[in-house]
Amino acid sequence: KVRKARLLISKVDPWSVLKMSFLLSVALGIMLVVCAVTLWSMMDLTGIFDRVNDLAQQVLGADGPGGSFRLEEMVTVGQIASFATIIAVVNVVLLTVLSMLAAVLYNLSASLVGGIGLTLTDD
């Protein structure tokens, strides 16, 4: 026989939301930096930058500014890693603050309407 339990989520602890969102956003930031560096390395290994440089020489001309155009010299892997790190830090701060704000707003709205109802069953 299946047992059912009806529960209400009437309050969310903002401190636990803050800790969990901080840890998850740090993990997301690390993944962002690793993915950016990996993508840059894969593009370099597959020769995409050489193709872009050849295309720039064809479009701009070999004796004009296209002759000295080198994409990998303009944007290095270090710049990509530092830019991805800056974006990751901003994301950590924003996601942590927004999730904390969402928990506080949920608590305020749950005090008015009672919260979210859940039905749990035992299989």
C-alpha–C-alpha distance, residues 30 and 53, integer Å: 30
Task: Give tens-digit pLDDT for 40-50.
Answer: 999 989 988 88
Residue type at 82?
Answer: S
Task: Give tens-digit pLDDT for 64-95.
Answer: 555 576 777 788 889 999 999 999 999 999 99
C-alpha–C-alpha distance, residues 64 and 57, integer Å: 8
- Interstrand relation of 116-122 and 3-9 (parallel, antiparallel or unpaired): antiparallel
Residue entry with tokens 């707003």: 105
pTM for the model stands at 0.77
C-alpha–C-alpha distance, residues 91 and 106, integer Å: 22
- How many percent of the chain have pLDDT more than 70? 93
Q: What is the mean pLDDT of residues 27-35?
A: 97
